[in-house]
């Protein structure tokens, strides 16, 4: 068997992302020793039952000791606290990275604690599902997904290359960008969609003219798509909203302006304007399919999952 | 082979819904003769190449002659015109139904043209995908989906029962409700989600801070879910907006009020309020899964479609 990429990897946080990393690290033999740490006793116990690592502890300091790669996979609001806690135990020359959905805020929280000689490289794998916790992870989560780094001006190129190699072995494609641009981009492709989904599901939950059981019963007409995003981890998404506030408010303002204009078109019966918008958006879907960022199967291929033998003649 | 349910069925319109009906009618042997009609020469030719029926014509009058069941599957804005056109050729005792997404407007458009002795029963199968046209249909489309009738006060119970039997043989579950309640219910479970999806995709398409190619490249972070709904047939959705205006504007107003409140919570950094909403919406998803209205596989089971052999240990 070939040498592992790192002698010791420490995972701080073992939710959907952390536990998916644990699974792919094992499958690809990327670590000589894999230390797993989480604050919750129950989650740690579950990770151990699942056999996700080589060592388990609720003490993050202990987990990161001697580690060559430390990956922090916690809600972005906790990243400063984690950095402060583990800083004294980080090995000189170690790579410290994270997987948070916002980068400006994570850098502001973590960087002040990073000791000299430790390579801090903020990262964000664009991968996830609506599930959370150590049971939800799977080794294929990162396949063909982007992992974005937002390196700092003084980032060591060799450390960046080694971390890139790690993510490539996890199946990801690598990109780098400026933290501010990352936060603006993610605000539109990820944060706004989730916030809108949470909002519409909340609206439907609050009606008096249509009962909650009717909403659930007839949800296959479109609504259920939103409920998937709106089932994502509440702590993670609360933190995203609090830590990428400016970019999110900017995107929300634009969305609301566009919605007011669409609302007016409906009120005035402006069929041409509606038709134009509804045609333009169709082209965006086509580009996403062509870019390999979604499957072309109708209804996200649900039919194939529900009726594996179903003919589509 | 058992007797077909109807001697002759005529399908006026052969898009996603019409062509799915054609396929299930053949599979379940529901018609002695299946006549297919559409105004577009090209679409009719495609339906014939696909072997969807027994007779093909661009003349709807000819298609419905002697038919025992006539199913109008056209954008709701065209239903009045179709009713006027076919009325003189409808057989006494025939059942006339539609599949439109709005019911108040369809009734107002079609009912005045229905000749005495013809049983007009407005209907709406809650089934579809983002695809359109005769190639997009498949026989399993209606399986375990609801078909809602909004019968008129003088609807003949025997005709309603026969039409219900037809839809049950297509795999559907039957429901009946008042047209106004149908339109309000569909406004929240279907029309609002589609409009919001069209709107957010339009917003993303219009940004200057994030390029269109970045939006496409990173769409797997959430955005791509919306693009599926926003790829639905533009003519159909323009007509839905124009023909269920009041209920849609009502739902849009509520959605916007809720969004303003959510926006304020983000601006003020009110984490508790965000967490409460994001937790409440998660329960709605659970209810939908429990009601069998969506699959529980993460990401709508895309992973299973993309990597059929992929392990999920």
Which residues constitute the domain of residue B233? 181-295
pLDDT of residue A194: 97
User: What ipTM was estimated for this complex?
Assistant: 0.93
Q: How confident is the model at residue B109 (pLDDT cuts 50, 70, 90)?
A: very high
pLDDT of residue A275: 97
A151 found inside a domain? yes
Domain count, chain A: 2
Are residues B29 and B165 part of one domain? Answer: yes
Question: Taking CB atoms and an 8 Å limit, are A190 and B218 in contact across chains?
Answer: yes
pLDDT of residue B312: 44
Counting DSSP H helices and E strands in chain A, the numbers are: 14, 9
For residue A165, what are the contacts with CB-CB under 8 A and spacing of at least 6?
A: A5
Compute the distance between CA of residue A29 and CA of residue A6 in angstroms, rounded to an integer: 9
Per-residue model confidence as pLDDT tens for chain A (313 residues) = 679 999 999 999 999 999 999 999 999 999 999 999 999 999 999 999 999 999 999 999 999 999 999 999 999 999 999 999 999 999 999 999 999 999 999 999 999 999 999 999 999 999 999 999 999 999 999 999 999 999 999 999 999 999 999 999 999 999 999 999 999 999 999 999 999 999 999 999 999 889 999 999 999 899 999 999 999 999 999 999 999 999 999 999 999 999 999 999 999 999 999 999 999 999 999 999 999 999 999 999 887 666 655 444 3
List alpha helices for A79-123, DSSP H: 79-86, 104-110
Packed helices B271-290 and A192-205: angle between N→C axes, nearest 10 degrees: 70
Q: In degrees to the nearest 10, what's the CA dihedral of B130, B135, B139, B140? A: -30
pLDDT of residue A78: 98
Are residues B201 and B170 part of one domain? Answer: no
Interface test with B, best of A294, A304, A311, A312 (most B CBs within 10 A): A294
Within 8 A of B201 by CB-CB distance, chain A residues are 281, 284-285
Q: What is the mean pLDDT of chain B?
A: 95
- Please compute the mean of the pLDDT values over residues B187-215 and round it to a whole number: 95
Question: DSSP string covering chain B, please?
Answer: -PPPSEEEEEEE--SHHHHHHHHHHHHTT-EEEEEEE-S-HHHHHHHHHTT--SEEES-HHHHHTT-SEEEE-S-GGGHHHHHHHHGGGPPTT-EEEE--S-SHHHHHHHGGGPPTT-EEE-EEE----S--SGGG--GGGGTT-EEEE---TT--HHHHHHHHHHHHHTTPEEEE--HHHHHHHHIIIIIHHHHHHHHHHHHHHT-SSS-HHHHHHTGGGTHHHHHHHTTS-HHHHHHHHHHSHHHHHHHHHHHHHHHHHHHHHHHHT-HHHHHHHHHHHHHHHHHHHHTTSS--SGGGGHHHHH-TT----
Are residues B65 and B159 part of one domain? Answer: yes
Question: Taking CB atoms and an 8 Å limit, are A258 and B199 in contact across chains?
Answer: yes
Are residues B224 and B94 part of one domain? Answer: no
Nearest CA in chain A to B286: A231
Q: Which of B177, B205, B226 is the last residue of a domain?
A: B177
B155 found inside a domain? yes
Q: Decide if B6 contacts B30 (C-beta within 8 A).
A: yes
| d(CA B142, nearest CA chain A) in Å | 11
For residue A208, what are the contacts with CB-CB under 8 A and spacing of at least 6?
A: none
Are residues A232 and A164 part of one domain? Answer: no
Are residues A172 and A187 part of one domain? Answer: no
Within 8 A of B263 by CB-CB distance, chain A residues are 249, 252, 256
Cα-based distances in Å from A192 to A222, A311, B251: 18, 37, 20
- Please compute the mean of the pLDDT values over residues B179-195 and round it to a whole number: 97
Q: Which of A220, A245, A281 is the closest to B266 by Cβ?
A: A245
Are residues A138 and A191 part of one domain? Answer: no
Question: Taking CB atoms and an 8 Å limit, are A204 and B195 in contact across chains?
Answer: no
pLDDT of residue A25: 98
A313 found inside a domain? no
A300 found inside a domain? no
Compute the distance between CA of residue B183 and CA of residue B180 in angstroms, rounded to an integer: 5
Compute the distance between CA of residue B203 and CA of residue A163 in angstroms, rounded to an integer: 35
Are residues A117 and A33 part of one domain? Answer: yes
Q: Which residues pair with B280 in a beta bridge?
A: none
Q: What is the pLDDT of residues B232-281, one digit of tens each?
A: 999 999 999 999 999 999 999 999 999 999 999 999 999 999 999 999 99
Strand, coil or helix: A56: strand
Are residues A189 and A43 part of one domain? Answer: no
Compute the distance between CA of residue B118 and CA of residue A198 in angstroms, rounded to an integer: 46
Best CA proximity match to A83, nearest among A65, A110, A101, A112: A110
Percentage with pLDDT > 90 across chain B: 94
Question: Taking CB atoms and an 8 Å limit, are B284 and A205 in contact across chains?
Answer: yes
Q: Decide if B295 contacts A305 (C-beta within 8 A).
A: yes
- pTM attached to this predicted model: 0.94
| d(CA B233, nearest CA chain A) in Å | 8
B311 found inside a domain? no
Task: Answer with the residue of higher pLDDT: A305 or B130.
Answer: B130
Tokens encoding A145: 């997904």
Terminal-residue alpha carbon distance, chain B: 47
A87 found inside a domain? yes
pLDDT of residue B208: 86
pLDDT of residue B304: 67
Are residues A185 and A85 part of one domain? Answer: no
Question: Taking CB atoms and an 8 Å limit, are B225 and A223 in contact across chains?
Answer: no
Are residues A203 and A172 part of one domain? Answer: no
């Amino acid at each position: 068997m070939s040498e592992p990429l790192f002698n010791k990897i420490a995972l701080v946080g073992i939710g959907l992302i952390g536990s998916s990393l644990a699974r792919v690290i094992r499958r690809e033999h990327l670590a000589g020793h894999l230390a797993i740490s989480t604050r919750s006793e129950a989650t740690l116990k579950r990770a151990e039952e699942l056999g996700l690592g080589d060592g388990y502890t609720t003490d993050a300091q202990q987990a990161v000791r001697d580690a060559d790669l430390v990956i922090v996979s916690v809600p972005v609001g906790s990243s400063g606290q984690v950095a402060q806690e583990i800083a004294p135990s980080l090995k000189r020359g170690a790579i410290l990275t994270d997987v948070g959905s916002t980068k400006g805020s994570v850098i502001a929280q973590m960087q002040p604690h990073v000791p000299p000689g430790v390579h801090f490289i903020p990262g964000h794998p664009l991968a996830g599902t609506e599930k959370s916790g150590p049971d939800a992870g799977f080794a294929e989560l990162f396949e063909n997904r982007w992992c974005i780094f937002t390196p700092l001006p003084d980032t060591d190129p060799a450390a960046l290359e080694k971390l890139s190699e790690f993510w490539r072995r996890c199946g990801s494609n690598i990109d780098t960008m400026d933290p501010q641009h990352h936060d603006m981009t993610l605000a539109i492709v990820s944060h706004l969609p989730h916030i809108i989904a949470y909002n519409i599901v909340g609206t439907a939950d609050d009606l008096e003219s249509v009962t909650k059981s009717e909403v659930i019963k007839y949800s296959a007409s479109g609504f259920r798509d939103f409920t998937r995003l709106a089932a994502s981890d509440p702590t993670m998404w609360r933190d995203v909203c609090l830590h990428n506030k400016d970019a999110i408010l900017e995107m929300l303002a634009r969305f609301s302006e566009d919605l007011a204009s669409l609302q007016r078109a409906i009120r005035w019966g402006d069929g041409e304007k509606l038709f134009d918008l509804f045609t333009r958006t169709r082209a965006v879907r086509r580009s996403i399919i062509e870019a390999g960022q979604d499957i072309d199967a109708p209804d996200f291929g649900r039919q194939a999952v529900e009726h594996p033998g179903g003919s589509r003649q």
